Structure 1
């Protein structure tokens, strides 16, 4: 399979593996420290819901509140890192063609999807069934011995929300064009679960999920540390402390 690289992302010197998460489906896997994923919105309009857990100690997991308040932001892009609830860095966004990914919108459940799109079950519709994001993430977590209590706040990559004067959140349509991509570098051995179900605030009444391509590569050696002048590490003092906490697990 050929690897399509957007012109404003650095070429990948050696691809470890690549796969496509089909539209409206789900995927999970373990990304080791020093590995990176390039996620590509192949057709435009994708939503990639994601949750993150430390692989060897899954009680440690992505913490949305700490991630946002430590970096003084309400969206995610290049230079931001994903904090665990132990103050360590699970992953870093090292490249991004969009400049905005949604950490606030949550994930749609069966009731929401049924009210918006109707019901299409596997028995009648096979691969054209309607899958909601919450159940998709739970199915992937179950493969690794985790359950509903482990489903923490998720990130919606490729999606953007706007805030109205009344404080209400609204979905920004057309945010992610075909070929949009970001690179996520893993600083810990991390279990990742993804769903390509539509964003829960997408107002469209048509169920139109999109596929996402994943390209894995090695960013640095497992026994190495991210240098002090790394863009993500040096973005703010909080990130430097987060990387120090993380390095102590491995050095």
Structure 2
């Protein structure tokens, strides 16, 4: 049997010092203030390729080419988009929320942030966001949730979406849920801050690689609203736009810069 050797206090202190130095340098490289939320109501989309309506309780899958824009629009309170993405051409590379939060020193993924793949590349950027009310911590509705018997759960929807994409359960990463104002209180407990939502919120994601995605429009498990009715989501695919030299998503952190360097080497 292997014996555990306690770490020396000086080793622990040295490791802690290295971590805190890395954190300090990471935070110093980040912008002093994130951008203001995107305006409400949402402006008319430009360069529309197509749009779709995803009813409450349903899922949706599609592809985005590098540079294209995906807009998600809530059509009322209760709609939430649990979202997963994979790199097209090699679906073993998928979004990685733990790395995404760790590399940007925040779980508050909103306008100006990026989502990394598990290969250290940037899979997509959040270029517009009216509420900043997105959940990277708690996931979607579990199977057989008692308060929504009329609908499949988020997990059930995602398993169906995976099959449609030729994937299996093991390919499902942690989900980022848009329009889900989950926050953490002083005791470390999740709570739902509904004051962040307007009922007509929207986000836009820019594909930084060719990618495929799946989403589920199901009421979030922490949403205090009850009842079977979940509003629809509008999903709009738009043509690519020119990316400016000072684009915040590409320059917000040293880690984001390195992620885009990894994209360029792919």
Quote the residue 1:29 is aligned against: 62
Quote the residue 1:180 is aligned against: 201
How far apart, CA to CA, are the structure 2 residues paired with 1:233 and 1:227? 9
Quote the residue 2:147 is aligned against: 116
Quote the residue 2:172 is aligned against: 151
Partner residue of 2:259 out of 235, 242, 246: 242
- The answer to whether residue 103 in structure 2 is matched with residue 86 in structure 1 is no
How far apart, CA to CA, are the structure 2 residues paired with 1:199 and 1:143? 23
In the TM superposition, what is the alpha-carbon distance from 1:175 to its structure 2 partner? 3.4
In the TM superposition, what is the alpha-carbon distance from 1:45 to its structure 2 partner? 3.2
Quote the residue 2:90 is aligned against: 57
How do 1:168-207 residues align onto structure 2 when only pairs under 5 Å count?
Answer: 168-173=189-194, 175-207=196-228
In the TM superposition, what is the alpha-carbon distance from 1:9 to its structure 2 partner? 5.1
Partner residue of 1:209 out of 227, 230, 240: 230
Q: Name whichever of 80-89 and 165-174 sits farther off.
A: 165-174
Q: Would the aligned equivalents of 2:133 and 2:197 in 1 still touch at CA under 8 Å?
A: no
Structure (1 or 2) with the greater helix fraction: 2
How far apart, CA to CA, are the structure 2 residues paired with 1:220 and 1:161? 31
Assess, with a 3 A threshold, how the Cα gap between structure 1 residues 247 and 220 changes in structure 2: closer, same or farther: farther
Q: Secondary structure in 2 aligned to 1:110?
A: coil
How do 1:66-85 residues align onto structure 2 when only pairs under 5 Å count?
Answer: 66-85=99-118
In the TM superposition, what is the alpha-carbon distance from 1:230 to its structure 2 partner? 1.1
Which aligned runs of 4 or more in structure 1 are off by greater than 6 angstroms? none
In the TM superposition, what is the alpha-carbon distance from 1:6 to its structure 2 partner? 5.8
User: What root-mean-square deviation, in Å, do the aligned CA atoms of Structure 1 and Structure 2 show?
Assistant: 1.9
TM-score w.r.t. the length of structure 2 is 0.80
How far apart, CA to CA, are the structure 2 residues paired with 1:154 and 1:75? 14
Quote the residue 1:136 is aligned against: 157
Count of residue pairs the alignment pairs up: 229
Partner residue of 2:79 out of 46, 62, 66: 46
* Structure 2 gap ranges (5+): 1-37
* Structure 1 gap ranges (5+): 120-128
Quote the residue 2:250 is aligned against: 233
Quote the residue 1:125 is aligned against: none
Q: Would the aligned equivalents of 2:54 and 2:234 in 1 still touch at CA under 8 Å?
A: yes
